[in-house]
Amino acid sequence: MKKISLFFIVLLYLSGCDIRENIIEPSNSFTRIIDHPGFSGDISPLSVVETSDSGYLVLAAKNSWEIYLMKTDMSGQPIWEQTLPEPYVNPLQDILIISDRYYIACMDAVTLGTYLLEINLSGGQPQRTATFAAMSYPLSVAYTGTEILVQGYDRNEKSTTLNIITPSFELSNTYKYPILEDKEEELIRHLNRTGKRLPFFCGKYTSSASSYYFNGFSNYALSLIFVNPSNGEISGSVSGFRNEEFTNSLHPLETGAFALSGLRYHDSYLLPSVEISTNEVAYIGDVVVNHFPEIAAAPHMVIREYTIAQPLVVYGTQAKNNKLLLYAYDQEQGTLKATTHIGQSNPYEMGDFQFTSDGGMILLAKTYVADRFPRLALFKLSKQEVEERLQ
Amino acid sequence: MVFKVYALTTYTQKFNGFLAKKFRQQVAYLLQKKAVKYIVITFLGIAMWLSGPSLMAQRARSGMRDSFKGSQWYIGLESGMNFTKVNPGTAFQEFYRPSESLEGKVYGKRFAHSSQQIGIKAAVRPTKHLNISLTTSYITYRYSYQQQFLWEDAENPDQHVNINYDHTVRLSYLELPVIVRYYLYSSGRFRPYVLGGAYYGWLVQANKQIVESGIDRASGGSTDYSNTPNTTFVKDMFLTSQAGYLWGGGFAYKPGTVTLTVDIMYKQGIHNITDVKHRFSSARSLPGFGNVQDNLRLSNLQVSFSLLFPLKFLTKSFNPVTL
């Protein structure tokens, strides 16, 4: 009888492990749909970053181009939210983290100039850090580690501008690149979200030689332009075809290659490791690609790096069936390691995603409640879940 | 008097022989299959439990014959109905309304949902007043909750959308309750008793049915609608284990050789059955909203009927040992 009793005790002890271990920090994994009981208001997610207090700062465009900010705690519970008053409109895609401070770039509703605003994590009205009245129609912003780049549009000279701002928030250079047709109407429809959203972005590529790059209008097309940082002259480009065929997103890799996604009319393709000469002119229509019929038409595409045993390139976008899609590629080989989706019957559109300091992932998306009301959705995936999904 | 032990000793000897030669070779393979693992382990447990009478029978033959008459062993079938109540703890949900608190889940009426259980029961009656049983039962718990959402046009309150998500959860466990019964009257055909014990269960299956219904007064009129029920497997949402204690009463009726019992017991889970590691992740792929599980403990009112056969007989004509 002692053996029998021992058998059962050991059996129950082993089986009961999950009861004892059924505890986890709530910040490890969560889903939050930020809802309100009203009908009104459209909202488009733009950016999410993990803050120094382990919470999250969310940036979105509300009612086409108003600026919406939300700060959450580490479990995704909103601490504060606010919609900035005019003249601040048209928030650019990314939240900039400069010396542990949080900034956004936006536009003046009347003068079309550019502002840099510092976000106070404890709430309250953001501080206006810098005003660039002559920097009209800001379209994208990036922090390179040594300078801030702002891509804009000069309506008077009909040109794309690339503005270099020092870390002390002073404009050091403005380079202009002519556009051979009037794009202002398209840009306005892009900004107020009544027309096609165009993937404007800019950044700095550093390999054997450094180069600025931006994705913007040049001549007649939306093209990826590489710029010599010493004089602002175009050193190379990957030309698009008008605004129908172009680079959709780009991420320079440690290997010197690029992770790129492109759009050919409505069809997306991914190039997880591609060599691009920054000193040559290429045409994106010449690229031989695999098509991804599951990806939604003209989607927002985010590219990040992550390491699970090996460096990965992770693409985040949305599927035609309204799920969030993640593709993980081996960074060196460019081979697909995993695909995963989030969501089932509820629709989701990709806003942004970041890997967090605990090895997990935070995703910002747009969903529709009651099949009609747009709302922000935040997903936090634990490290274990990320590894299961992407490995 | 000469005691002849027939059925039990023959059975256990054959079984042990079989176990030694063939059954053990299959165990490793079967253990690889999760669902089968629990059944095999449970079956082995019962076999070992049943080997007790074999030892006692051997003792009886070697001189301890009086003790053979001092107890009786039973095996039989059990079935019945149960009614579940949910004890919600900390609430969780995916929706968050910064401007106002959102109404949480509303759980169904207490013990309103019935389900069934069926099992094999082994019992020993070591004294006239005591009965100790171990049952291997397949039991399903069922509970429901509802979550309601209202969106209202601030400028025109007549325009609103009201959506209900009705969730019905079925959890099926392979459960091992160990129950001690104390007979208030130890003789006669009708013997009432009180009982108490503990149980441990392994989750075998879990599914959830979600029905979305609502009132749409925002699309040019007033429409009530209800969608087709959507059933999905949700085993990841719950812990594999469930443990608790139980108490209650019942009676045994012994019309002849067999014994019929009726147990009425209250079962109380002692821990949260929601798997907190998968609380949100497993809810992400489910339809509708309100899928994030709260912390839950289950209570259960159970009525079981058993048909028990004695295992110790005194003669070739199968007169059982009677206490």
Q: What is the CATH number of the domain that holds B114?
A: 2.40.160
Chain B neighbours among A 306-345 (CB < 8 Å)? 342-345
Amino acid identity at B47: A
Shared domain check, B75 and B29: no
Of B48, B70, B92, the residue at which a domain comes to its end is B70
Shared domain check, B115 and B31: no
- Contact residues, chain A, for B218 at CB < 8 Å: 39, 372
Taking an 8 Å cut-off on Cβ atoms, the answer to whether B241 and A19 are in contact is yes
Interface with B, mutate which of A346, A348, A383 (most B CBs under 10 A): A346
Q: Determine the structural domain holding residue B149 and report its residue range.
A: 71-310
Write the DSSP assignment of B58-87 as a string of letters.
Answer: HHHHTT-HHHHHT-EEEEEEEEEEEEEEEE
Shared domain check, B88 and B62: no
Shared domain check, B210 and B89: yes
Shared domain check, B182 and B171: yes
- Contact residues, chain A, for B12 at CB < 8 Å: none
Of B30, B54, B70, the residue at which a domain comes to its end is B70
Interior angle at CA A22, CA B170 and CA B143, nearest 5:
20
User: B161 lies in a domain?
Assistant: yes
Taking an 8 Å cut-off on Cβ atoms, the answer to whether B281 and A369 are in contact is no
Shared domain check, B146 and B1: no
E strand or H helix that includes residue B136? strand B130-152
User: B265 lies in a domain?
Assistant: yes
- Mode of pairing for the β-strands spanning A336-342 and A324-330: antiparallel
Query: How far is it, in rounded angstroms, from Cα A40 to Cα B153?
Result: 7
pTM value is 0.83
**A246 — contact with chain B (CB < 8 Å)?**
no
**A31 — contact with chain B (CB < 8 Å)?**
yes
Q: How many domains does chain B have?
A: 2
Shared domain check, B138 and B10: no
User: B318 lies in a domain?
Assistant: no
Query: How far is it, in rounded angstroms, from Cα A345 to Cα A337?
Result: 26
Shared domain check, B182 and B286: yes
Cα of B10 vs its chain's centroid, Å: 32
**B46 — contact with chain A (CB < 8 Å)?**
no
Residue B232: phi, psi to the nearest 5?
-135, 155
Reading chain A (391 residues) residue by residue, the pLDDT tens digits are: 566 566 666 666 666 677 877 776 667 889 999 988 888 778 999 999 999 999 999 999 999 899 999 999 999 999 999 999 989 999 999 999 999 999 999 999 999 999 999 999 998 889 999 999 999 999 999 999 999 999 999 999 999 999 999 989 999 999 999 998 888 899 999 998 888 889 999 999 987 778 999 999 988 889 999 999 999 999 999 988 888 889 999 999 988 899 999 998 888 999 999 988 888 888 888 887 788 999 998 899 999 999 988 899 999 999 998 899 999 999 988 899 999 998 877 889 999 999 999 999 999 999 998 888 999 999 999 998 999 998 8
User: B102 lies in a domain?
Assistant: yes
Among chain B residues, CA nearest to A76: B96
User: B316 lies in a domain?
Assistant: no
User: B321 lies in a domain?
Assistant: no
Among chain A residues, CA nearest to B271: A19
Shared domain check, B48 and B8: yes
Of B45, B70, B95, the residue at which a domain comes to its end is B70
> Taking Cα atoms as reference points, which of B143, B132, B135 lies closest to residue B174?
B135
CB pairs under 8 A between A and B: 124
- Contact residues, chain B, for A385 at CB < 8 Å: 281
Residue A355: phi, psi to the nearest 5?
-85, 140
- Contact residues, chain A, for B94 at CB < 8 Å: 31-33
Shared domain check, B13 and B116: no
**A123 — contact with chain B (CB < 8 Å)?**
no
Shared domain check, B269 and B191: yes
How far apart are the CA of B40 and the nearest CA of chain A, in angstroms? 12
Shared domain check, B248 and B294: yes
User: B59 lies in a domain?
Assistant: yes
User: B202 lies in a domain?
Assistant: yes
Integer CA distances (angstroms), A169 to A47, A69, A94, A152, A293, in order: 22, 22, 17, 16, 43
Beta-carbon count within 10 A of A212 CB? 24
Query: How far is it, in rounded angstroms, from Cα B69 to Cα B12?
Result: 19
Beta-ladder partners of A161: A152, A176
